[in-house]
Amino acid sequence: MSRQMIVGNWKMNGTCQAAQALVAGLVGRLPQDSAEVVICPPFTQLASVADQLVGSFIGLGAQDCHQAASGAYTGDISAPMLADLGVSHVILGHSERRQGHAELDETVREKAVAAIHAGLTPIICVGETAEQRDANQHEDVLGWQIEGSLPAGFSGVLAYEPIWAIGAGRAATEEQIAQTMAFLRAELLRQFGEAGKAVKILYGGSVNAGNAPSILSIPEVAGALVGGASLDADAFLSIVGAASAS
């Protein structure tokens, strides 16, 4: 198995002081030969966290960006601004953005293009609702999201997060994850050809220290997008420890 990636999505949590304490609990405890690790604090914490991560093996990510490089977009942050802070990755199209901010696939794709142009690696999220899963529509939904959200020549990261499992305290079953991951890989190959082989696919949705070893051992799972468990240094490091570093 190739080196896996563990991404911590802190969402809208913490102050700068809390962020500093959390990073202090991670830096120095992560071996050089670990899985690839990226943490994604809120915008307000990026600058101070960036300073703490200097010389460490932890990458810095953001939770969103605007599709324009600059302009009259009050309250928004552009990809070049993130790059200026030392950010290397950016989460795009998370279901909480798609649902809470009415983001369309087209919007996510435009943001991905902007991120790539700024030198950032986009982590694009896709996922189905419980109703779509129950109606056996999840593969159609995921295929449409990939087609609409990933730009031509995409070489970033795809994160599968079933909406019904996010923050629910339960992950999808191993069988569900394995079947969906196989479908996503086939869909990437269908839409992008050989380039689809290189796209890492992460799983997200109530990943924790207890279920991480089994989830990360599923074929095609190239890592995890971790929410709540990433706010606890010990739990997050345990998940990282379960990932493949080779």
Secondary structure letter of residue 78 according to DSSP: B
Listed residue (92, 82, 220) closest to 145, CA to CA? 92
**What are the C-alpha distances in Å from 114 to residues 23, 65, 107, 195, 235?**
28, 8, 11, 20, 33
- One-letter amino acid of 213: P
For 10-67, give the DSSP string. --S---HHHHHHHHHTTTTSS-TTS-EEEEE--GGGHHHHHHHHTTSSEEEEES--BS
Token look-up 């689809």 returns 196
The reply to whether 10 sits in an annotated binding site is: yes
Determine whether 94 is an active site residue: yes
Q: Are 40 and 85 in contact (CB under 8 A)?
A: no
88 is in an annotated binding site: no
Is 144 a known ligand-binding residue? Answer: no
The catalytic position among 66, 89, 94, 138 is 94
Q: CA 209 from chain center: how many Å?
A: 17
Residue 206 is labelled as binding a ligand: yes
The span from the CA of 54 to the CA of 107, in Å, is 32
**Calpha distance 58→95 (Å, rounded):** 25
| Catalytic choice (36, 103, 128, 161) | 161
Give the C-alpha separation, 158 to 34, whole Å. Answer: 21
| Active-site residue list | 94, 161
Residues making up the annotated binding site for substrate are 9-11, 167, 206, 227-228
Residue ranges of the binding site: 9-11, 167, 206, 227-228
